[in-house]
């Protein structure tokens, strides 16, 4: 999801834009706070103005506005942080690719582990990690990582490649594992 889509989503439903940038519980909590307070304000203004005290309706409106403003401020702050983390993961992925070209499997493994520690749900990093595990002869670890790709991004090009690799693995280790 693009950053502008997250901003638009967060503008319409405060907190919803935080979910795609991996702040699920914070986004859900802010969305719930906003929804409950605005619904209470609507009930106090139009549905049952006699049953809901005017001070409670005003308080609900203030909480709703504060929740909306907090969601926008958090989106600005956490969105920048998310972009910085993505840039660092991209840098680590490029370093791993360079290490692989230099035949430095340990350097590539360290770079990919650092990238996974920053964002363990990026399918491109998971794919590179699975490919490195395959090249090092660790087929069971590569299979575990590819199954993780299927969980994280089930409808992506990486999932298609992971499924193909899991179903028809090529190489000596898959031939040894295949039933006769």
Q: What's the chain's length in residues?
A: 180
Q: Tens digit of pLDDT for each residue in 28-82? A: 999 999 999 999 999 999 999 999 999 999 999 999 999 999 999 999 998 888 8
Is 7 inside a domain boundary?
yes
Question: Which residues have CB under 8 Å from 134's CB, separation 6+?
Answer: 142, 171
Per residue in 124-171, pLDDT tens? 999 999 999 988 888 899 999 999 989 988 888 988 889 888 887 544
Domain count, the chain: 1
- For residue 37, being part of any structural domain is answered with yes
Q: How confident is the model at residue 21 (pLDDT cuts 50, 70, 90)?
A: confident
Whether 40 maps to a domain, the answer reads yes
- Enclosing domain of residue 19: 1-84
Spatial separation of the C-alpha atoms in residues 38 and 50, rounded to whole Å: 17
Asked, for residue 171, whether it belongs to a domain, the answer is no
Q: Is residue 166 part of a domain?
A: no
Does a structural domain hold residue 42? yes
Neighbouring residues of 98: CB distance < 8 A, sequence distance ≥ 6 = none
Q: Is residue 29 part of a domain?
A: yes
User: Coil, strand or helix: which one is 163?
Assistant: helix
Q: Counting Cβ atoms within 10 Å, is residue 155 exposed (0-12), middle (13-18) or buried (19+)?
A: exposed
- State the CB neighbour count (10 A cutoff) for residue 115: 26
Is this prediction's pTM over 0.85? no
């Amino acid at each position: 999801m693009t950053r502008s889509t997250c901003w638009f989503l967060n503008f319409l439903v405060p907190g919803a834009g935080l979910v795609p940038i991996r702040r699920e519980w914070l986004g859900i909590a802010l969305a719930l706070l906003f929804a409950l307070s605005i619904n209470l304000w609507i009930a106090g203004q139009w549905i049952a103005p006699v049953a809901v005290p005017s001070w409670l309706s005003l308080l609900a409106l203030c909480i709703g506005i504060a929740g909306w403003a907090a969601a926008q401020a958090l989106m600005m702050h956490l969105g920048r942080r998310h972009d910085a983390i993505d840039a660092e993961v991209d840098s680590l992925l490029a370093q791993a690719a360079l290490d692989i070209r230099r035949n430095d499997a340990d350097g590539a493994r360290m770079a990919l582990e650092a990238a996974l520690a920053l964002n363990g749900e990026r399918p491109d990093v998971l794919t590179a990690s699975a490919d490195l595990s395959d090249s090092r002869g660790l087929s069971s670890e590569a299979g575990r990582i590819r199954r993780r790709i299927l969980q994280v991004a089930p409808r992506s090009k990486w999932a298609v490649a992971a499924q193909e690799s899991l179903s028809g693995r090529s190489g000596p280790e898959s031939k040894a594992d295949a039933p006769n």
